[in-house]
Amino acid sequence: MFALDEVRLNLADVAAGARRRLDPVHWDFFAGGAGEERTVRANEEAFTRRWVVPRILRAVGERDLRISLLGSPVSMPVLIAPTAFHRLAHPEGEVATARAAAGAGTIMVISMAATRSVEEITAGGGVHWFQLYPQSDLGFTSSLVRRAEAAGCRALVVTVDSPVFGRRERDLRHGFVDLPPGLVCENMRDASGQLRDIEMDAGLDWRRISWLRGLTTLPILLKGVLHPADARLAVEHGVDGVLVSNHGGRQLDQVIATLDALPAIVEAVGGRLPVLVDGGIRRGTDVLVALALGATAVLVGRPVLWGLAAGGAAGVRHVLDLLRADLDRALALAGATRPGDLSADLVATVARA
């Protein structure tokens, strides 16, 4: 639980509390990115170049943040992104995160690299999607999909931006290459209970997406779409959604910020499937800007880990509640009552001085 003497008015306050509690090696694992971390910074900085142009006299007394996403009702257009190793932040790990997501009425995307099993995470109820790194062993990949289906996950989020592992220099400086004793990636156990390593498959191509489409009836979203040509190909290959993501700046550095990539992806998709976006979202106004530029919903990753480290399930719920309240207030002050009211004319792009 939160200490009574700690004020947590925003996500920066939550991050400060998490940093005090976390082992510095684990803080750097969560906070760090690839190379010089230019993309990590760019994701947040992209929002500082967008300014809201409010409408007035719009009768905003009856606001409603709810949306429907791939058949699931969601209390607000803010989802929990897939992030690895939650037990580094809190002993309950992903189970605590799932409890907070269910209480907030939003979707948790379960990481394939979770430190609790998909079955444990989904047992408490709520709506879950499962993030998948397709493995070169098609049999094992198939077994992962079947586990996710059996556990009640309602969609697959297929990470497509990781043909090789990014070079994360903070982790290299610390020599952080293995989880501490007692922690493992629980979803990587095969049928005999033996653990496998997560493999980045450099041979992954569109044929594997077609194979997955034939394997499962679950909706499939592609995570890591940044180029509009790939968004058009995603539509052609029958996927159900795209996630504009640069992996939180943790794969290739010097990659375009997700907010900067978003409008071209929205245009390429042309309303044929939902477009989600993650990266750098720290305020309700950030959520508003992303929605106005065409995103159906946003996902948050690092702030959830901060909340988990600072206060377990209650900390994650606090992060979600802060974003909900901030978005609600931003909608009213921008002259909107629901996410569907937002449009690109409410956002101006102004270079920073």
Residues forming the active site: 247
CB contact at 8 A, 141 and 132: yes
- Going by C-alpha positions, the residue among 71, 87, 78 that lies closest to residue 153 is 71
Integer Cα distance of 279 and 42 in angstroms: 9
The kind and range of the H/E element at 66 are: none
Nearby residues of 78 by Cβ (< 8 Å), 6 or more positions away: 106, 281, 287, 297, 298, 299, 300, 320, 323, 324, 327
CB contact at 8 A, 94 and 71: no
